[in-house]
Amino acid sequence: GAVVSQHPSWVICKSGTSVKIECRSLDFQATTMFWYRQFPKQSLMLMATSNEGSKATYEQGVEKDKFLINHASLTLSTLTVTSAHPEDSSFYICSASMTSGGGKYFGPGTRLTVL
Amino acid sequence: GESVGLHLPTLSVQEGDNSIINCAYSNSASDYFIWYKQESGKGPQFIIDIRSNMDKRQGQRVTVLLNKTVKHLSLQIAATQPGDSAVYFCAENPNTDKLIFGTGTRLQVFP
């Protein structure tokens, strides 16, 4: 099946710094990628939808200036958490879709801890 | 925002028994549904999907049932094994380009 990777798998940073998370589709071209956030013992919450070559669409309540998304190629999307704070600590997961339809394939996730 | 679960319900079963995990979805316009398995510290893993023009679909040891009348989805796992222990999420696609996740159910398998 299709493989989606994320890098890094975990990151610890100081409050106020920015962190970039990469999501790659390894064996297919992803026209659409999705970014989710998951807090402990909770479900996945969609943050934004990113389409290659265009601006991301953010879900209600997600700050687009804080969570910068770039989808520069058909195999790579990046999420940058700017000026991270402890409340941004979470598990960030991306998924990729070959065609419009929600994205079946998920990455392994990135654990972000902000001190 | 999307669906949020504050407390994960837990289903405990004995190894070898069958498991049934239920999910109520919210949008009557949803036409595609997926079940995912998530192990601790990992991303969701696709298990099985079903479209709204079907009411049952079988995979290897798993069966998904869809009841559109009451907006209910279930995942049946036959001969549950310790490796099946995980959190299971249903997800619905309300005819848009994104998935809405349910709250999740933790499956615990005892020897």
Low-confidence winner among A35-39, A77-81, A92-96, B5-9 (lowest mean pLDDT): B5-9
Give the Cα-Cα-Cα angle A93, A95, A96 (nearest 5 degrees). Answer: 155
Beta strand B86-93 with B105-110 is antiparallel
CB atoms < 10 A from the CB of B9, how many? 11
- Output the pLDDT for position B44: 95
DSSP state of B94: -
Q: What is the DSSP string of A8-24?
A: -SEEEE-TT--EEEEEE
- Output the pLDDT for position B1: 36
Q: Scan residues 39-78 of A and list those with Cβ closer than 8 Å to B.
A: 41-46, 49, 59-61
Instruction: Read off the pLDDT of residues B59-76 as tens digits, 9 standing for 90 and up.
Output: 999 999 999 999 999 999
Q: Would you place residue A5 in the very low, low, confident or very high pLDDT band (cuts 50, 70, 90)?
A: very high
Chain A CB contacts of B50 below 8 Å:
none
DSSP state of A66: T
Q: Does the CB of B110 have a partner CB in chain A at under 8 Å? A: no
What average pLDDT does the structure give for chain B? 91
- Output the pLDDT for position B7: 65
